[in-house]
Structure 1
Amino acid sequence: MEPATDALAQAANTGTLDSAFWITCGVILFLLVMSGFFSGSETALTAASRGKLRSQADKGSRGAERALKITEDNERLIGSVLLGNNLVNILAASLATALFTKVLGESGVALATLVMTLLVLIFAEVLPKTYAITNAEKAAALVSAPIGVVVTLFAPVVSAVRWFVRGVLRLFGVQTDPDSHIMAVREEIAGALTLGHSEGVVEKEDRDRILGALDLSERFVEEIMLHRSNIEMINADDTPEAILEQCLQSNHTRLPVFKDDPENIIGLIHAKDLLRAINKLIGGPDGDAKELKNFKITDVAMPPYFVPETTTLDDQMRQFLRMRTHFALVVDEYGSLQGLITLEDILEEIVGEITDEFDPDAEHPVLKGEDGNYVVDGAMTIRDLNRATDWSLPDEEANTIAGLVIHEAQMIPTKGQVFSFHNFRFEVLDRQGNRITQLKIRPL
């Protein structure tokens, strides 16, 4: 550094360090400040949560409202900020090179490069970006007004650059959609919940409830319906005494009514409607019970409500609320009965299993043994098992654990057979007919 020191001393003696030198130094310093402003603004506006900004804007923050408006078009925002940042960086580097070359001669180029690299790295990149990333929403609100002016001023140039860039990308077969988001809102929320749960910030139950609500629009009625083989029905041809006894013994308040064939559903009976009709028919507590023989269930049954199995859970819940009913029969594309679904079934996808004193066996238990094996009911849905154990078994090809085993095995397994897939070991513990009723599962 001695030659540089001698050159500076010589420059001072010869009057090279005049007012122009100090003005240039001041301009370079100003450009470094502008570079830091652009770098910090880019980080703040891209890292700021739009949800938090919206909350602040609703509370009256004009800066947050401007930041929301600016970030609606991220491509234009980033283009404008990068254009301003590159302009001030290149200009600062050019002025520094000219200044050092004038003072130190040819050796000034290398020194200017070293000094400007350090200054830009520390004061124009790391320092402002560190502040912006730790105070994203606050910084975004502060810089929104000047950045809005910059975006407006640079709009023609940025538009031309965007057009040119898309043309070049199109030559390489890359299609861009300016209206698409880098990450869907649902995926962003799901990712944040999963990350929060892994870090211990979000409870498992809270994560499951929110994800369950988000999944309603992507899941279908057929995935959670009660299969037709498990539906309890009333035969319209049974005697009034048998119908009354069946309703009193049933755990359900609503039962489908069929005639001649279980596929031929003619109505739906509510236990309260049935009891009211019988009480009125026999004349109250002091009436004649013999009048019960004149009871006709078709006079009390409500019209059945059928829905296609491809209806999403979100749509079906809205239909239930709009029609003020909680019960629907599910049919396939040919009109054949496939199962039934209730509003409670949909709500259970959000809050978990809902049980009361009349359905103590409604929940399929997951029993963990001392050997690390889990004993589960074959009819348990894959989604419920994943929620109970924090596993990630796929549910694209089957809804239940038994269905997954049958799909992977490409056969109906016999009792005692063992399979290994998806990094789990499955052992068939029990089978009734063609149904797998109990399985033992262990992660490998």
Structure 2
Amino acid sequence: MADTIDGDSVQQLMFLMTSMLSDLPYFSILITLFLLLLSGLISGSEVAYFSLTAEQIKRCKNSEDATEKRVFKLLQNPKDLLATVLILNNLVNVAIVTLSTYISWDIASKMGMEKDAPIILFFMTVVVTAAVVFFGEIVPKVYASQRNLRFAKQVSGIISAAITMLSPMASGLTFLGDFVEKLLKKKKKIEVSVNELNEAVEIVTASEDTINAEEILKGIVNFGSMSVKQIMQSRMDIEAIDISMDYHHVMDRINKSGYSRIPVFVDSIDNIHGILYIKDLLPYLDEEEHFKWQDKVRRDTFFIPENKKIDELLRDFQEKRVHIAIIVDEYGGTTGLVTLEDIIEEIVGEINDEFDMPDEMGYKKLSDAKMVFDGKTSLLDFCKVTGVDPEIMGEAKGVSESLGGLMLELFRKMPNTGEQVSFSNLIFKVKAVDKKRIKMIEVTFKDRVTKTSKAKVHG
């Protein structure tokens, strides 16, 4: 049977508690309670601000209320807002712990209980921890999640002042956070996602009624890693108009090209003046040759560098509401042209309309093992048509993005008609060439020749 606590022990315990309370430094306690309240407001603000819906944010943006306007302004820099909230919350919590430790030692010294100071410190630590977790975290966060906009408005003044005071520290921590985030974005993570998508390709293509699913999913896999240089129309193939041409010649070029947007240059293709939208000329079809069509040229031309990624360009097209961009090199010269259609084709495959003729596709199939390609065919399109793995090209292509460029890398010179070279399981034979470029290339697939021969023998 457990020993009972006698009356003297109870009296001693009550005396000890009364003595502790009478000796407490009340000013320190008041500061601790204030800091606990401040900790709750800061913790709740984190939930309140980052749980606002798009509709609530829009309301704050369009509101005439100064407090709601301030809430919207704070949300414009979410990284700085989060950094400030975290810094302030940790400063307050550290201050609470420090102050509670001071109070514990002060009680022990006033009561002559220095030997029992660790016990008092442990007791205070448990009490303070429970108070911080309950009153400084749980209660305010539950309240803020249910009344997020109201709570955000109530603490907006405190947070704004804190951002101003803690700006240097918050900026430094934000910079370090971005740096660590970049370090953690390892290639391995990208490879995992690519493997997952490749598995999705295999699953989807197992279905017999799937149309172009494999090409679409493969396009999605490679979309973020492709640059505009890989899909652009080279400067040699750009259909452009000299600004000095008369109106009749311009209309003739437009009718022959079939394009809805045509670049306009001054003196040379390297000096693009603007883009002519054919729809802008529709009301003036009956004008004379001296009609000032140049006034209809749109000057807000979108210029981009060669190394820009196509996923970034797609977002730019959406934001700027344009469908065409001129690609320039480091010296400002025109390298090529890319359109919204070119980007979409990298996902959904070739988009052909009634104006696309069969001979404009850039290749012709002679047999299962032999095809003829235009020299300007991009390596990406070549791989799509033939099923060749793009990685096989590897370093052999150098900086080239076209089939003709690959030939120059392999031959190390401008080849003559009839010359051929072997690469991997492919045999490239030059069918037509002029002084400037390789025009036609015949491609033979060694493995397909073997299969074709076997099929003939067995037949």
Q: TM-score, normalised by structure 2?
A: 0.51
Contact persistence 2:378–2:403 (CA under 8 A): yes
Residue type matched to 1:209 in 2? I
SS at 1:186 equivalent = helix
Does 2:272 align with 1:265? yes
User: Which runs of 5 or more structure 1 residues have no equivalent in the other structure?
Assistant: 1-176, 283-288
Which residue of the partner structure matches residue 442 of structure 2? 440
Q: In structure 1, how many angstroms separate the alpha carbons of the residues matched to 2:209 and 2:403?
A: 28
Q: In structure 2, how many angstroms separate the alpha carbons of the residues matched to 1:233 and 1:213?
A: 32
Q: In structure 2, how many angstroms separate the alpha carbons of the residues matched to 1:183 and 1:302?
A: 40
Which residue of the partner structure matches residue 215 of structure 1? 222
1:222/1:183 Cα in 2 relative to 1: closer, same or farther (>3 Å)? closer
Between the two proteins, the alignment pairs up a number of residues equal to 256
Contact persistence 1:365–1:376 (CA under 8 A): yes
Q: How does 1:160-309 map to 2 (within 5 A)?
A: 184-193=191-200, 195-196=202-203, 205-276=212-283, 278=284, 289-290=287-288, 293=290, 295-303=291-299, 304-309=301-306
SS at 1:353 equivalent = coil
1:250/1:332 Cα in 2 relative to 1: closer, same or farther (>3 Å)? same
SS at 2:212 equivalent = helix
Q: What is the CA distance between 1:238 and its match in structure 2?
A: 1.3
Which residue of the partner structure matches residue 429 of structure 2? 427
User: Which runs of 5 or more structure 2 residues have no equivalent in the other structure?
Assistant: 1-182, 447-459
Q: In structure 1, how many angstroms separate the alpha carbons of the residues matched to 2:320 and 2:185?
A: 37
Contact persistence 2:262–2:277 (CA under 8 A): yes
Q: What is the CA distance between 1:244 and its match in structure 2?
A: 2.4
Q: In structure 1, how many angstroms separate the alpha carbons of the residues matched to 2:209 and 2:410?
A: 34
Which residue of the partner structure matches residue 349 of structure 1? 346
Q: In structure 2, how many angstroms separate the alpha carbons of the residues matched to 1:378 and 1:202?
A: 35
Q: In structure 2, how many angstroms separate the alpha carbons of the residues matched to 1:179 and 1:345?
A: 29
1:198/1:359 Cα in 2 relative to 1: closer, same or farther (>3 Å)? closer
SS at 2:274 equivalent = strand
Contact persistence 2:327–2:337 (CA under 8 A): yes
1:428/1:203 Cα in 2 relative to 1: closer, same or farther (>3 Å)? farther
Which residue of the partner structure matches residue 416 of structure 1? 418
Q: In structure 1, how many angstroms separate the alpha carbons of the residues matched to 2:207 and 2:270?
A: 50
Which residue of the partner structure matches residue 384 of structure 1? 381
Q: What is the CA distance between 1:338 and its match in structure 2?
A: 0.5
Does 2:333 align with 1:336? yes
Residue 314 of structure 2: which of 310, 317, 320 is its match? 317
Structure 1 runs (4+) greater than 4 angstroms displaced: 177-183, 193-204
SS at 1:184 equivalent = helix
Q: In structure 1, how many angstroms separate the alpha carbons of the residues matched to 2:403 and 2:200?
A: 26
Q: In structure 2, how many angstroms separate the alpha carbons of the residues matched to 1:254 and 1:419?
A: 40
Q: In structure 1, how many angstroms separate the alpha carbons of the residues matched to 2:352 and 2:339?
A: 14
1:244/1:443 Cα in 2 relative to 1: closer, same or farther (>3 Å)? closer
For residues 112-159 of structure 1, the C-alpha deviation after alignment (integer angstroms, 9 at most, x for no partner) is xxxxxxxxxxxxxxxxxxxxxxxxxxxxxxxxxxxxxxxxxxxxxxxx
Q: In structure 2, how many angstroms separate the alpha carbons of the residues matched to 1:198 and 1:298?
A: 51
Contact persistence 1:414–1:428 (CA under 8 A): yes
For residues 265-300 of structure 1, the C-alpha deviation after alignment (integer angstroms, 9 at most, x for no partner) is 111101110223x25xx7xxxxxx55x52x223311
**Alpha carbon RMSD of aligned pairs, Å?**
2.7
Q: How does 1:360-375 map to 2 (within 5 A)?
A: 360=357, 361-369=359-367, 372-375=369-372
Q: What is the CA distance between 1:411 and its match in structure 2?
A: 1.6
Q: In structure 1, how many angstroms separate the alpha carbons of the residues matched to 2:295 and 2:190?
A: 55
Q: What is the CA distance between 1:365 and its match in structure 2?
A: 2.8
Contact persistence 2:270–2:332 (CA under 8 A): no
